[in-house]
Amino acid sequence: QKVLVLNGPNLGRLGSREPDIYGALDFSELTAAVESAATKLGLSADVRQTDSESELIAWIHEAVDAQQNVILNPAAFTHYSYSLRDAAVQITKAGLKLIEVHLSNPHTREEFRHTSVISGVATGVIAGFGSDSYLLALAQLAK
Ligand code: DQA
């Protein structure tokens, strides 16, 4: 089973960006950890990152057309992107799984991070476990 693991804006800066909040792992290390955990679970992870809302939406359309489950860290788009939500709802409507993940727990942070416009159309949400949030999502998809 191929899984798309999509990451939104600024996540390419992991490692140097607020390591106190997001951890010391850089994006290529996160990618390697996700790919190897996926392989061990019998899955194949296609890990991508973009700062562009339109590119992220196109990748979600691709997942729906290819009938692939999606692990999505929408980053700041989580909090305000209705167009990303409108794309994301097509995943679950197609009978596929969408797992929203976050490295940090947004509910412990600024007020604007307490709202997710994505959670309402996700199969489930995993937040607050650093890079393990992705691995927990993979384990769930492997069931
Ligand atoms: C994040 C949390 C968001 O609030 C933030 O904008 C991010 C990363 C996380 O993984 O903890 O960029 O999605």
pTM metric for this prediction: 0.97
Q: Atom of ligand 1 at shortest distance to CA of 73?
A: 13
Q: Is 79 annotated as a binding residue?
A: yes
Distance 76 CA to ligand 1 centre (A): 6
Q: What is the pLDDT of residues 86-111, one digit of tens each?
A: 999 999 999 999 999 999 999 999 99
Question: Could you give the CA distance from residue 127 to residue 52 in angstroms, rounded to a whole number?
Answer: 22
| Contact present, 141 and 43 (Cβ < 8 Å) | yes
Burial of 93 (C-beta count, 10 Å sphere; 0-12/13-18/19+): exposed
Residues with a catalytic annotation lie at: 22, 102
pLDDT at residue 130, as a whole number: 95
* Residue 65 half-sphere exposure toward CB, CA atoms < 13 A: 6
Query: In sequence order, which residues have a C-beta less than 8 Å from that of residue 2 and are 6 or more positions away?
Result: 43, 44, 45, 46, 66, 68
Say how far apart CA 107 and CA 63 lie, in whole Å: 28
Residue 10 CA, ligand 1 centroid: distance in Å: 9
Domains, the chain, ordered by start: 2-142 (3.40.50.9100)
Query: What is the tens place of the pLDDT at every residue in 48-94?
Result: 999 999 999 999 999 999 999 999 999 999 999 999 999 999 999 99
Judged on CB neighbours under 10 Å (0-12, 13-18, 19+), 126 is: buried
For ligand 1, which residues put their CB under 6 angstroms from it? 10, 73, 75-76, 78, 102-104, 106, 113
103 annotated as a binding-site residue: yes
> Which residue lies with its CA nearest to atom 3 of ligand 1?
75
Distance from C-alpha of 62 to C-alpha of 143, rounded to nearest angstrom = 23
